A and B are shown apart, each in its own frame.
Chain A
Amino acid sequence: MIGGGIDTGTRIVGPDVDFLAIGPVLALAVAALVVILVRAILRKRGPVNQISLGVGLAGVAAAGVLLGIQWNEVRDDGTITTIAGAVRLDTFGVFLGVVVLAATAMSLFLAASYLEREELEAPEYYALMLLSAAGMLTMTTANDLIVVFVALELLSIPLYVLAAFDRRRLSSQESGIKYFVLGAFSSAVFLYGIALTYGATGTTSLTGIADFLSANTLFEQGTLLAGLALLLVGLGFKVAAVPFHMWTPDVYQGAPTPVTAFMSSATKAAGFAALLRLLGVAFPLYRTDWRPAILGLAVLSLAVGSIAAVIQTDVKRILAYSSIAHAGYILIGLQVDTARGRQASLFYLLVYAFMTVGAFAVITVATRKGDDKHSLDDYRGLALRRPVVGGLLGFFVLAQAGVPLTGGFVVKLEIFSSAVDAGEYGLAIVGVLAAVVAAFIYLRIAVALFTSPGGEAADASEDRPVDRWTAAVLAVTTAAVLFAGILPGAWLTFAKDATFL
């Protein structure tokens, strides 16, 4: 439904634009462009890396301020719909925007020292990450399938490059190619889904679809349901839900660790933003149709994510599988389709962003140059050699396992109680069982950290000190995960206020 009215003359009148609604996106995009310009003008002269990082962080900060303004505006005055209905700014979108932006800021911090250590091109990296984040922010407020698709591409294409960014390392190249091929594949499926949905309803606007479906009864539902199925495939791919998850372990393992952190936190939040909005805004009338489908995705994700993790020996791969399982938990909140379930999913995404970025932050400093030694054996005895670093990794994996007093426990509890509230006892039981199975692998990491390595002791002189950028990320993530675990009240209220009504 993009497009304004056409005047009597030849002058084309564009739709009204509420710049506040797209302000955060603009801030990030402008920052990305400035970074590229700075690089082009300065070449290698001067502190180009520092300037780029500064510009990037300034963009993130500006976007953050704008999100804050948006939150107050939207909460007090209600939803803003702009650009001819293509963008819909509500508290739900702002909430996930905050998650995306927090993850982006932390990933930029992590990259700062990582890029220097691995001698990679910093400005391009920052620009790509900012552009991807801009795509994600677009995704959180998209109210039109076309916008969703554009956002999907805007967030994905930089990610393909980022995954392959460490071009000297074969596994990084491989992960970029794999992500690209499969991502293109799923985008095509998603696009076909849009076409079918448009064919059935005559509109691509999410609210428009809902209006159409409530006003008309479809004589033949096949087209629409096929479209819905294909849309689910495209978004299921982005959130790494089984069976569209196959890329996840390979890409998470191969990509530079800060990119992995970014993908597991921000991309997941953006993917779920679109998924929640699609099902909750456009297809609430078809809930009896899509709920069993989501149930299947959730159960499969929980089962495969938890079980397959058990025999992995690479820490980044373990975390990749665990991110699949986490997608399963978030899908539970989606599946129950109650306000409480959505709230639990949002809360989960928020806390999970901190848990996963924290874990990957430790991984960036725990290993030596090269970023390819992540087997459990490499981590053996880490906590004995470096108590703080090893202890923190232990803390984050235990948080992901859902140990009480960490945020991981509270979010799981919220998800399960929302399922029980809605009478989905089976789903809650599957979730608990998956948590039990997954606890095994988390405990394995924790135990490895605290057992001394056999054979020759690792050479402590190669250990890198924790730089202040990473230290800041670790401090923030640890505090957030602990805070969410001990005093979840404030966070839950935040999630409760986030609705797309």
Chain B
Amino acid sequence: MARDLLDLVWLVPLLPLLGAAMLMLAGRRIGEPKAGWLATGMMGLAFLVSVVMFFALHDLPEHERAHISNVFEWLSSGGLHVEMGFLADPLSVTFILFVTGVGTLIHLFAIGYMHGDERFSRFFAYMNLFCASMLILVLGSSFLVTFLGWEGVGLCSYLLISFWFERQGAALAGKKAFITTRVGDVGFMIAMFLIFLKVGSLDYSALGAAEGLASGTTTVIALLLLLGAVGKSAQFPLHFWLPDAMEGPTPVSALIHAATMVTAGVFLVARAHPYFEVSGDAMTVVAWVGAGTALLAATVALVQPDIKRVLAYSTISQIGFMFLALGVGAYAAAIFHVVTHAFFKATLFLGAGSVIHGNRDNQDMRVMGGYRKYLPLTAGAMTIAWLAIAGVPPFSGFWSKDEILTKAFLNDEYGVWLFGLVTAALTGFYMTRLILLVFGGTITTASLAASGDTPDADAHSAASQEPSANDHAPWDPTEPTVAFGTPPRAATVDQLHPPHEAPPTMALPVLALAGLAIVGGFINIPLKGLEFLTEWLHPSFADVHEVHPESFWEGFALAGVSVVVGIVGIALAVALYRKGLAAADRDPVIERLGPMGRVFGHAYYFDAGVSRVVGGPLHRAARWLSDTADARGIDGAVNGVGTLVQRAAGGLRKTQSGLVRNYALWIVIGTAALLLFLLLYAGR
């Protein structure tokens, strides 16, 4: 019974895929808002099917909880047989549950958010396709099926980030995301080639063969897989596409950050963990990539003025936490954090979407303040998510973050653990800053200061060459991102147009997600008998040795440390931002950090550095290749071949005289040649 049900697991990706197909073909006819409801409905159905899959899988005895259902033979060529197969095991079912669940809520939110967009139905077609790709990615029964979804996710992220392609920033950001993740994809591909070469099968059922390989080989394969994961999950050094990806519509950001795409890398490492386990070096690299990224991204998030950028760097940092967990072998903890992060990050993004939506698309936090009055629901939801991400018990983020830090400590990875602790403190700080800047303070302090209506206006005009304008926004609304170092954008909040709460279709998903952000942590409480998620995931990681605290008090002490650290970060931020900003262009944290603040603000100049290398030496090399090597060498050769072919064809034309007797002569010549060949050469 359970297995029969599990055979239907292909329904999960098929439903959103069908939705996408219907919307592509007949989207215009379906129109707004039905297109949105159709897409949301498909995701909802997929969620229901996922729930059924969960119970079906749960019905099986623990050691049998891995069911492969082959839908059809995709291709079979020589030694390569690829089944279009789906693998339902605790790991993949966990992923499909939150991808479809969170995805449904985001779709619902998007119906309101995208209201009035002229490509409304196209947007939902892409969204459905995005989720379908992600579901194929996690459900694939082999690396190749996963790769199919992997590429689909890449394609959809490109389509959705540059959905408003009329904006140059959006078009560029889409390209940047696509190209950067492609770098990682190459790693993934080479890893697959190597695995096929060495193991002869890309099926996940053959993962165990990793143990039989030479240690150098497994390390190379693991590191190449990591490269792919790093690209998709926006980890150092391929992290820089994610902040720009904010150019897409906010539901897209929420989807990328919470449910799809960035968690794909975590999934890949978790799925392919035997390769990492066998190669200890690769594990160390994973742990340090995660720890380093977590810390660096958190420092960058400290000083950003743009609400969505803070969240973007916070995602990079949180994904870093997940990699850190993977690197110390705490797979269940990593997946746990994926799930809780999906809840609170989706809340934060949709909340931020509400703030921006209700604020005439201004994303500059420096001119916000006091919004709790106008957006009480959003404020409540985001406050919950803030406490969750900052690691305050009993909100969900506390449980998963504590689990990760505890496991790092217990595995004797003290350096990694320390990085994680500092990051936790920084997380508390920058999230508190965000909440206080947006919802705290009063509306008259910073926002009006920037608009030039208060005596503080001098400070503002010194920073901005623009004459202050109140009624007409002096900034270009098609470039919404507020980069570090740019002058504050004139407040768009005035007495006539206070920010307003979003319609119910937008508020409801935010509240639901906030609810999950509160209780999401209870699926895995680190006490005997309450570690539901760890136990549920155990079959997927049965080969991994899990460490546990020696005593309740050891775990308790470690948890206490991480809570205290988080609280310290929060307290510092409260001290600095309790009253909001004194003036829109004077941010206390930047002033206190001095030159470090600028380094953080410009994200360590990494992006600029990459651009300079790509734009400078690399560009010149490419130009040389195209102008000299290609034009003279390759084009020359191709043109030469072209001329040769033309001449040869001219010669052949002469034989094609149209006269039957000549044709017959050729047959005779051919016959004679065959006869001579067979008699003289072959007959010997």
Listed in ascending order, the chain A residues whose CB lies under 8 Å from chain B are 177-178, 181-182, 185-186, 189, 221-222, 225-226, 228-230, 232-233, 236-237, 242-244, 246-247, 249-250, 286, 288-290, 292-293, 296, 304, 307-311, 340, 413-414, 417, 421, 437, 440, 487-490, 492-493, 496
Contacts and interface: CB of A to CB of B under 8 A. Distances in A.
B669 A296 contact: no
Interface string B655-677: 11010101110110111011101
Nearest to B77: A417
B78 A417 contact: yes
B656 A249 contact: yes
A243 B682 contact: no
B423 to A, nearest CB: 45
Interface string B74-104: 1111100000000000000000000000000
B76 A222 contact: no
A496 B78 CA distance: 11
A304 B76 CA distance: 32
B649 interface: yes
Contacts of A249: 656
Given A307-B648, A489-B74, A492-B75, A178 B675 contact: no
Interface residues of B, number: 37
In this complex, which of A189, A229, A492, A496 has the most chain B Cβ atoms within 10 angstroms of its Cβ? Answer: A229
B678 A293 contact: yes
B667 A244 contact: yes
Contacts of A309: 649
A417 B77 CA distance: 8
10 contacts: A233-B671, A237-B667, A244-B670, A246-B667, A293-B674, A293-B682, A304-B652, A307-B649, A308-B656, A489-B76
Contacts of A417: 77-78
Contacts of B669: 243
A340 B73 contact: no
A174 to B, nearest CB: 9
Contact of A308 (B653, B671, B677): B653
Interface of B: 72-78, 641-642, 645-646, 648-650, 652-653, 655-656, 658, 660, 662-664, 666-667, 669-671, 673-675, 677-679, 681-683
Contacts of B658: 250
Given A249-B656, A492-B77, A225 B678 contact: yes
A182 B660 contact: yes
A233 B641 CA distance: 32
B129 to A, nearest CB: 16
B677 A490 contact: no
A230 B76 contact: no
A247 to B, nearest CB: 6
B70 to A, nearest CB: 11
Contacts of B660: 177-178, 181-182
Contacts of A237: 667
A490 B683 contact: no
A226 B77 contact: no
Contacts of B648: 307
B663 to A, nearest CB: 4
A185 B664 CA distance: 8
B667 A182 contact: yes
A286 B679 CA distance: 13
A392 to B, nearest CB: 18
Contacts of A440: 642, 645
Contacts of B78: 340, 417, 421
Nearest to A413: B77
A310 B679 CA distance: 35
Given A229-B674, A310-B645, A493-B73, A246 B679 contact: no
A191 to B, nearest CB: 13
B228 to A, nearest CB: 22
Given A222-B679, A289-B678, A310 B649 contact: yes
